[in-house]
Structure 1
Amino acid sequence: MDPSVHPPAVSKLHYQVEGWFGDALVTTFPCFLVTEEAKRGLLDIGISGATLAPAEVTKSENFLELQPDVELPPFVWLKVDGRAGHDDFGVNQKLNLVISERAFDVIDELGLPSASIQPFDVGNK
């Protein structure tokens, strides 16, 4: 990670899971992950504003203690490079992830139980 720029530039993603409650989308500044199942759905609709790349995902000691029976699905890195409010995926000036309705529908169908989702305000691009 290159912290000399903001948001930090990430060249290789290793995400250590502290807890997981079934979300198909995992957000952690400045990176995002989706399950393989979500990846397939997003590719089926031909998303714009993001590419999908491999990510190393491991369980933390905390995860192993608190959720020992939870199996993680395979995850991939959702590398967002689109324009908020224009592409299916983008990041606004406040560094919040912005998702089009059609991409949201794909991910929501697979589970967004703990995500905090708010409508996109065009005035806050």
Structure 2
Amino acid sequence: MYHRFEPEVAGGLGPGIDYDPRRGAEPLVGPLHYEFAGWLGDDIVTTSGYWIVTGRLADALRESPLTGYELGEVVVTTEEQFDMFYSHLGLPRDWERLIPTGTEEGGDDFVLETVVDLLVSDAALELLRRFHIDDADISPADEEPEVSEVMRKFLDLQRAKGEQ
């Protein structure tokens, strides 16, 4: 069984990144630059369809039999407000990019459902639960994801624009 796994959004794409969504399937050229704006302490965080994990979680993934992912380089920085309000949390120095490469048909443990939706298997979720993921939203993948009222209005506006 797969679970939709939505980690904490602790920041966004950092300055100087070579990112252009018009490139289609590969909008990012070069390493991911993740800039923390805040952080609640989770070992996996996300932004814009990119995921990063702490070094200790990356090590556990490497030691596991889990499939459907690669680990890659990430440049991590913090915004000025992070340094003022969150520096006491002790942001880990080591982070790696988690790149989902699996397929449901292949029975992989990490699958990209849409550009921004990560699916994880029971085995992957079991491993993730050994780490701090308190701020992640987890739901069965066979259920429709919850859509906030704000997002629902946005999607309705986008549909209306497309019909014009």
Give your verdict on TM over 0.5: yes
Q: Which has the larger strand fraction?
A: 2
Distance 1:35 1:23 in 2: 9
Match of 2:157 in 1: none
Secondary structure, in 3 states, of the residue corresponding to 1:4?
A: helix
* 8 Å contact kept, 1:84–1:91: no
Report % sequence identity: 28
Question: Which one has the largest radius of gyration?
Answer: 2
Corresponding residue number in structure 1 for 2:161: none
Q: 2:101 aligned with 1:50, yes or no?
A: no
Alignment pair present for 1:116 and 2:137 = yes
Mapping 1:88-103, distance limit 5 Å: 88-93=109-114, 95-103=116-124
- Find the counterpart in structure 2 of residue 76 from structure 1: 96
Where do 4+ consecutive residues of structure 1 move more than 6 Å?
A: none
Q: 2:82 aligns with which of 47, 63, 66?
A: 63
Unaligned runs of 5+ in 1: none
Gaps of 5+ in 2: 1-18, 146-164
Distance apart, 1:6 and its partner CA: 4.4
Could you tell me how far 1:20 is from its partner in structure 2? Answer: 1.1
Alpha-carbon separation, structure 1, partners of 2:111 and 2:37? 25
**Secondary structure of the corresponding residue to residue 98 of structure 2:** strand
Shift of 1:95: 3.5
Separation (CA, whole Å) in 2 of partners of 1:78 and 1:19: 20
CA spacing shift, 1:84–1:29, aligned 2, 3 Å: farther
User: What secondary structure sits across from 1:117 in the alignment?
Assistant: strand
C-alpha deviation, 1:61, in angstroms: 1.0
Contact 2:50 2:116 in 1 (8 A): no
Q: CA shift at 1:47, angstroms? A: 2.2
